[in-house]
Structure 1
Amino acid sequence: MHDDIPDELNNLGTQIIGAAIKVHRKLGPGLLERIYEVCLCHELEKLGLQVERQKYLPIIYDGIEFDEGLRLDLLVENKIICELKAVDEINPVWKAQLLSHLRLTNNSLGYLINFNAPLLKNGVIRMVNKWR
């Protein structure tokens, strides 16, 4: 790819999207986000990948750690953030949030995956942190 993402991360991303498509094909759209989350975690773990659900991310500002942190839906292999949705339409603010999460974790690659899309490939947004 032409976005300076190492092959290892691109390959990992391909596995994540493949697993998400598998879940979507089995369950279809219209379920709650947490159902897709647990099923996607299961599929990723079957691939031998390390997945953390609802990973707490503290906010550190001016050398102080604040309790009002963030939660990442999924952190795969401690390298790729996946934010999952089950909505009719993607809100542009979610893209900005994912990019902020990438910056705060110093990660390069993230996905916003909307399981409510009739065809999942139309519900996947790939985000790259260019300020890493």
Structure 2
Amino acid sequence: MDENALSYEVVGAALEVHRVLGTGLLESVYRQALCRELDLRGVDYRSEVPLNAQYKGVAFDAAYRLDILVADRLIVELKAVENLQPLHLAQLLSYLRLSGLRLGLLINFNAPQLRHGIRRVVNGL
């Protein structure tokens, strides 16, 4: 599956989680619920994936953790905040650059309508 097809699957799963759970819970609850929904849909993913950083030849082991990495091609960063901030987008873009991946989804489960809380972030396209 390409990144676009994967993102379509993840958005569908996130919409279902939001429909069932609503807003107001912790990010960790939404992560676990989304992982369960991805399991039910047969989508390959890993949760809490370490991401290393490097600076001028010095590696910083497990500097970051990706919330969810789908099929080793799509980063999903979850939030449960009042409003998404530019910092949240910058964080996901940094993860994309560090990993060399092209597409990420930033999903804020505290949006009253989840479609308003989803942002696609593209690296180098």
Moved over 4 A (4+): none
The answer to whether structure 1 residue 63 and structure 2 residue 57 are counterparts is yes
Alignment-derived partner of residue 38 in structure 1:
32
Percentage of matched positions with identical amino acids: 47
Alignment-derived partner of residue 3 in structure 1:
none
How well do the aligned residues superpose, as a CA RMSD in angstroms?
Answer: 1.4
Q: Out of 16, 22, 34, which is 1:22 matched to?
A: 16
Query: TM-score, structure 1 length as denominator?
Result: 0.89
Unaligned runs of 5+ in 1: 1-6
The answer to whether structure 1 residue 89 and structure 2 residue 89 are counterparts is no
SS state at 1:30 partner? coil
Distance 1:57 1:68, change over 3 A: closer
Partners of 1:72 and 1:27 lie apart in 2 by: 22
Unaligned runs of 5+ in 2: none
Alignment-derived partner of residue 111 in structure 1:
105
Query: TM-score, structure 2 length as denominator?
Result: 0.94
